[in-house]
Amino acid sequence: MLKEVIMPQLGLTMTTGTIQKWLKKEGDQLEKGEPILEVMTDKVTMEVESFDSGILKKIVAREGEEIPVTQVIAYIGDEKDEIPPELIARATEAKAALASEAAAVAEPQKEPALAEEEEGGRIKASPLARRLAQEKGLDLRLIKGSGPGGRITKEDVLKAAEEKERRPAPAEAARVAAPQIAGAPQVAEVIPLTGLRKIIAERLSESFRNAPHIVITMQVDMTQAQVLRDSLLSLAEEKWGVRLSYTDIILKATALALKEYPGLNSSLVGEEIKVYQDINIGLAVAIPDGLIVPTIFGTDGLSLSEIARKREELVKKAREGSLSLDEVSGGTFTVSNLGMYGVESFSAIINPPQVAILAVGAIEEKAVVREGQIVIRPQLTLSLSADHRVVDGALAAQFLARVRELLESPYLMLV
């Protein structure tokens, strides 16, 4: 019996999926539970297993295609099953509909109306119009007649000839679009914007375009945070098997500050601001294809060692490409740390639909004034980007000041 393989809905917010790779080819024998393809969502790439045993009779969606959830992408059956042409046509129409919706964003140019035909397929045109069209190299079938019954007149041909002269030839248009400039750099490689890179580009462009970003920056004295980390470093490695990092301390401070300022632990969806009870902080992780943000659920309720253990686990899985969809969903706030690259400070783009993101720079020894004396202290720059539609400047400043207070007096986080 012929059975449909559909694009699965791998998450509550998933509406389409991109076929990353078919792991089987047409004619292969499939076993129930065996991976047959890889699907990329807007967050992660996952293997999809066969729901039944049989032969992969037909693949109707190619690698790289974006397919709506529940749409047919393949058929499974036995040796006797034949696929009716109408089923293939139906799947093709569904894909065409998606492409049509995407193309509808830009208004297409109208095709010239075809000329009216007489019985026998002869174009309705006056003898003079025919002669002029032949002289000027015009196709009468592409000229709309203004005469009685759609008949093409001399004026119609002259008008079409004028329009043709105003239009640049394809080669000329290409030269205008890409002029050859002396000394222009030679292109070494052209990389298509596809896959995860395309998704990142679309999401961040949407965020920067739709959310007016307000960015505030504060300097943090990390002296006491250094003392705390140094005192716990050996204990954490020996007792819990984790290496405590400054990121873990920053995550803890951020989570506790979010409890006091829940307006930043929210999202803007349509015309509603959703303030969350759970504090689930996403940590931006660089991977070869771009960036991914796994989630540490209930960050505020975790100890430093638990945060460190979860961070190590998620970062490892992110770099191996083995994160589940659940592990990259449900975030309510994001932290991005580029300090390990020596970046002093930067402004991050908000991860939609969240309303804020904390950018963490490098800890650097700097001269500061303390009690009238110039001293050298480890300084950290924190930059908070917030959606100004939801978060006012005063609220953002109060939140960031609380994060700074917790980092400068980190033992407050342990009581």
Is 388 annotated as catalytic? yes
Q: Which of 42, 213, 289, 388 is catalytic?
A: 388
388: left (phi over 0), alpha (psi -120 to 50) or beta: alpha
Pairing of strands 373-387, 213-221: antiparallel
Contact 281, 335 (CB under 8 A): yes
Q: Return the closest-CA partner of residue 293 out of 302, 305, 285, 301.
A: 285
C-alpha to C-alpha distance for 382 and 250, rounded to whole angstroms: 10
C-alpha to C-alpha distance for 325 and 312, rounded to whole angstroms: 18
Pairing of strands 356-370, 333-337: parallel
Q: For residue 15, give Cα distances in angstroms to 9, 51, 258.
A: 7, 20, 31
Is 300 annotated as catalytic? no
Torsion (CA) 102, 105, 109, 110 in degrees, nearest 10: 80
Six-digit token string for 110: 């109208």
The per-residue pLDDT for 69 is 84
What is the mean pLDDT of each successive set of 10 residues along the chain, which is 415 residues long?
83 78 89 88 80 88 86 87 69 57 47 50 73 77 80 86 71 48 76 77 88 96 95 89 95 98 95 96 91 95 95 93 87 96 96 96 94 94 97 97 97 85
The per-residue pLDDT for 101 is 53
Q: Return the closest-CA partner of residue 221 out of 371, 41, 340, 66.
A: 371
- Which domains does the chain show, CATH number per domain? 3-97 (2.40.50.100), 127-164 (4.10.320.10), 213-414 (3.30.559.10)
C-alpha to C-alpha distance for 165 and 154, rounded to whole angstroms: 17
